[in-house]
Structure 1
Amino acid sequence: MPRTPPSHPEVSHPEASRRAVLGAALAGLATPALAQTPWPSRPIRIVVPFPAGGGTDAVARALAERLAPRLGQAVIVENRAGSGGAIGSEAVARAAPDGHTLLMNGNNIATYPLIFRQLGFDPLRDIVPVGMVAVAPIVLVVGRRSPYRTLADYIAAAKAEPEKIDYASAGVGSANHFAGQLLSQAAGIRLTHVPYRGTAQAMTDVISGNVASAILTLGSVTEFLRDGQMRVLGVAGPARSRLAPQVPTFEEQGVRNYDANIRYLLAAPRGVPDPIMQRLGTELAAVVQDPSLEALFNAQGFEKLWVDGPATARTLREEFAAWAPIARDAGIEPQ
């Protein structure tokens, strides 16, 4: 259909035209200036939602030291502990999405909706991973006087007397707790969970025989394995740990699909501009390849790992879907 001509002729106003041209020119000058705002423009905070001295804190501090010179700004680690990591994680989710506030946490952040009823953020939506950087192998350990010499001994005893064998973890809803429930399901046994407030007392009670076993990180028990106070029955994951290559995996010993290892990731609030996320990802990937970082990680009980942000986000979604039925079967309810 032909366009209907206007009923009144259009009139050009010189002053209006000059204002329009001037406005366009100013906009053209302002846009590049905004686009070139330097980042980072001030120190960067990496929030660790756990107390200082733990595994997450150690990984964050190692990264901060190496990221700072690459980014040209100080990188400060801030510990904001409480509610199993939820308080500090929520603080980051609510922070300004300008790339100056980041989160260091484990992949078990995906289980938060399964254990916290009043969670003030969605960890799968409001936190955007930059990348996964390290893994802490999970192991099943018993005391040196334990009758269980192998994983086969342990599983046979658990099948003979369901719920008689107990295992210690770092608390209800912890990564260790979920790992124990996954072992029960994967091995077809029923274990009794004994939650502790952290791992120190749990290790003491395993050594003394007050609790039959514990599911802990390899790094946290290395000293006790070395001096013979503990015995390790298996390591989680698809392959043996480079930190203890003599320890067989659960898979090798007949327990299929048992991967409960803790993987550490750096993340940002949702909404950080793509160029900043890309820069963070590039610098983080370079830091992870630093030989000095690998040596430090190994000494602390971690193995280096690099998974980029989008792949890490997919992994977290998959883990939530995988852990949800395990939490339901174990009677783990949001508190």
Structure 2
Amino acid sequence: MNRPFARLAMLAACAATVLAVAPALAADSYPDRPIRLIVPFAPGGSVDIAGRLITDAWGKQLGQPVVADNRAGASGNIGMDQVAKAKPDGYTLAINNVALAVNPALFAKLPFDTAKDFVSVGTMGTSQHVLVVTNSLPAKNVKELVALAKAQPGKLSFGSAGSGSTFHMAAELFKSESGADILHVPYKGGGPALVDTIAGQVQMSFPVLSAALPQVQAGKLRALAVTGPKRSPLMPDIPTMAEAGLPRYAFETWFIVSAPAGTPKDVLAKLNQTLNAALAQPELKARLLKEGFEPLTMSPAQADAMLRKEMVRWSAQIKQAGITPE
């Protein structure tokens, strides 16, 4: 081989080596700047609380700040659309809950494809909801509430944080399992729904435990049942729905972290490993439990599978409830 060709061959080999190691070098240096965690709901709700609880511990594991950024609107769709259209480099993520699985069936048209435009980073935890009623309501337990609702079809109402919210879905499942006809009154957030339940503008609501606990402890609301499969240590005297007379009822909100589709697998792996490591920290676990969250860790593949299973489940639930897509 003459010298010019030999030199070209050497240059080509060097270039190939550089290209081969470049992705590894990029992965090793990730992240080199703050990560934006979009919260697609207003401040103060369960998703916002969940996101802000994990940012500090997660950022320490990553070596870069994780900054929560509220982008509320359209039952979480506005914030999720920003993530779907973001560069898939691991610097724009989202935290969401059951609404991510509900919205494809609840909205006739979304600006993104939930199954195709996102990839899961992992999960953060679960949280129970609790059925609370206004103090003026004569029902003292779930059986009495169901009997009262059946005696007055469509007269009792429940407040929710909006169509498709976890408040809403918990109530729709209650209606389905109990056969009670209860009117849905959607609000622009869980806070206003809870305020109107206290005032008696609506007779009941299904807030997350952390939101309801102070009001129940203050005697402003009466808790009838928690929605999960077991009693909550935050409300040990309150029965589960199954114990209260609805044996098939079980509902928990889960929290999932998503990235734009196309995010490199090694970046996803690092995000997942550091998220799970943060959730294993005793200090964070204690804070989560105090706020009514049960830590839950999954791999990206497990979280993806859970999301798809939940999309099927809630699509069937919405059809059964006769809810028309918006």
Same topology, TM > 0.5: yes
> Matched residues in 2 for 1:253 and 1:171: separation?
26
**Aligned residue number for residue 36 of structure 1:** 25
Q: TM-score, normalised by structure 2?
A: 0.92
> Matched residues in 1 for 2:202 and 2:179: separation?
21
Q: TM-score, normalised by structure 1?
A: 0.90
The AA in structure 2 aligned to 1:57 is D
> Matched residues in 1 for 2:34 and 2:187: separation?
37
Count, aligned residues: 324
> Does the 8 Å CA contact 1:105/1:266 hold for their aligned counterparts?
yes
Which of 297, 301, 316 lines up with 2:292 in the alignment? 301
Q: Secondary structure at the match of 1:124?
A: helix
Q: CA RMSD in A?
A: 2.0
**Aligned residue number for residue 8 of structure 2:** 19
Q: CA deviation at 1:331?
A: 3.2
Residues 262-294 of structure 1 show CA distances to partners (whole Å, capped at 9, x for unaligned) of 211211111111111111111111111112112
Q: Secondary structure at the match of 2:67?
A: strand
Q: CA deviation at 1:13?
A: 7.4
**Aligned residue number for residue 222 of structure 2:** 231
The AA in structure 2 aligned to 1:125 is K
> Matched residues in 1 for 2:184 and 2:96: separation?
24
**Aligned residue number for residue 332 of structure 1:** 323
> Does the 8 Å CA contact 1:167/1:214 hold for their aligned counterparts?
yes
Structure 1 residue ranges without an equivalent (≥5):
1-11
Residues 54-112 of structure 1 show CA distances to partners (whole Å, capped at 9, x for unaligned) of 32222212211112222111221111112121111111111111111111111221111
Distance 1:35 1:156, change over 3 A: same
Q: Equivalent residues in 2 for 1:277-288 (5 A)?
A: 277-288=268-279
Distance 1:20 1:85, change over 3 A: same
> Matched residues in 1 for 2:298 and 2:23: separation?
31
> Matched residues in 2 for 1:248 and 1:157: separation?
19
**Aligned residue number for residue 73 of structure 1:** 64
> Matched residues in 1 for 2:257 and 2:195: separation?
32
Q: CA deviation at 1:190?
A: 1.9
**Aligned residue number for residue 117 of structure 1:** 108
> Does the 8 Å CA contact 2:46/2:208 hold for their aligned counterparts?
no
Distance 1:80 1:210, change over 3 A: closer
The AA in structure 1 aligned to 2:214 is E
**Aligned residue number for residue 108 of structure 1:** 99
Residues 183-228 of structure 1 show CA distances to partners (whole Å, capped at 9, x for unaligned) of 1111222221122222333223322333221121111111111021
> Matched residues in 2 for 1:232 and 1:308: separation?
35
Q: Secondary structure at the match of 2:207?
A: strand
Q: CA deviation at 1:28?
A: 1.5
1:97 aligns with 2:88: yes
> Does the 8 Å CA contact 1:115/1:332 hold for their aligned counterparts?
yes
Q: Would you identify which runs of 4 or more consecutive aligned residues in structure 1 move more than 6 Å? A: none
> Does the 8 Å CA contact 1:114/1:333 hold for their aligned counterparts?
no
Q: CA deviation at 1:15?
A: 4.2
Distance 1:15 1:132, change over 3 A: same
**Aligned residue number for residue 136 of structure 1:** 127
Q: CA deviation at 1:230?
A: 1.1
Query: Quick check: which has more Rg, 1 or 2?
Result: 1
Distance 1:208 1:77, change over 3 A: closer
Q: Secondary structure at the match of 1:194?
A: strand
The AA in structure 1 aligned to 2:87 is A
Q: Secondary structure at the match of 1:167?
A: strand
**Aligned residue number for residue 9 of structure 1:** none
Q: CA deviation at 1:147?
A: 0.8
Distance 1:45 1:107, change over 3 A: same
> Matched residues in 2 for 1:22 and 1:202: separation?
67
- Could you tell me the percent identity over the aligned residues? 36
> Does the 8 Å CA contact 1:103/1:268 hold for their aligned counterparts?
yes
> Matched residues in 1 for 2:287 and 2:232: separation?
16
Q: Equivalent residues in 2 for 1:125-204 (5 A)?
A: 125-204=116-195
The AA in structure 1 aligned to 2:119 is V
